[in-house]
Amino acid sequence: MDVFSADERSRIMGRIGGKNTRPELRVRKLLHALGYRFRIHRKDLPGTPDVVFPGRRAVIFVHGCFWHRHEGCPRATTPATNRDFWERKFRSNTKRDAERIEQLGRLGYRCLVVWECETKNLERLAERLTAFLRREDVPDGQTLRRR
């Protein structure tokens, strides 16, 4: 029994540990359009965040709903076969994700997770990204010192 259609399978397999995935490119393109400047895949930061705003001390992870277990999302299915394997795998993924966000927080970085399914509605995504990034625009002592 095959739990995935050919389409689903290629969508999922193409995403394993993938950088420059389509949802990620969509986020980057949108950030450009909104006028933000950023770096990508900074290997010196925990988890190699997909998008980094060094001046704002902010990072964005673009996560696939299946692998990173977007809670309540219809894409976060669990394959019917080898359930133990998948559940272990998913647990280790989400644990690692949480650890990275914690490590980044200790380094003074704010993190935003953008889920793959959230990159479908660009208008809403733009609002979300802007809200996240604007929080740092409020001038406070720390912000000024960093610039």
Q: Does 125 interact with Zn ion (rule: CB under 5 A)?
A: no
- Cα(147)–Cα(134) distance, integer angstroms: 15
Report the candidate in 119, 109, 21, 31 with the shortest Cα–Cα distance to residue 70. Answer: 119
- C-beta of 120 vs 134, nearer to Zn ion: 120
Interacting span for Zn ion (CB under 5 A) from 22-30, 46-54, 61-69, 121-129: 61-69
Of the ranges 30-38, 52-60, 63-71, 130-138, which one interacts with Zn ion (CB under 5 A)? 63-71
Least distance (Å) between residue 66 CB and Zn ion? 9
Compute, in degrees rounded to 10, the torsion defined by CA atoms 143, 123, 104, 97: 170
Q: Rounded to an integer, what distance in angstroms lies between the CA atom of residue 90 and that of residue 78?
A: 9
Residues in CB range of 97: below 8 A, 6 or more apart: 47, 61, 63, 68, 113
Residue 117 or 126: the one with the smaller Cβ distance to Zn ion is: 117
CB 23 → Zn ion: shortest distance, Å?
10
Per-residue binder mask for Zn ion (CB under 5 A), 73-102, x = binder: x-x---------------------------
Taking each continuous run of H as one helix and of E as one strand, the counts in the chain are: 5, 4
- Contact residues for Zn ion, defined by CB under 5 A: 65, 70, 73, 75, 115, 117
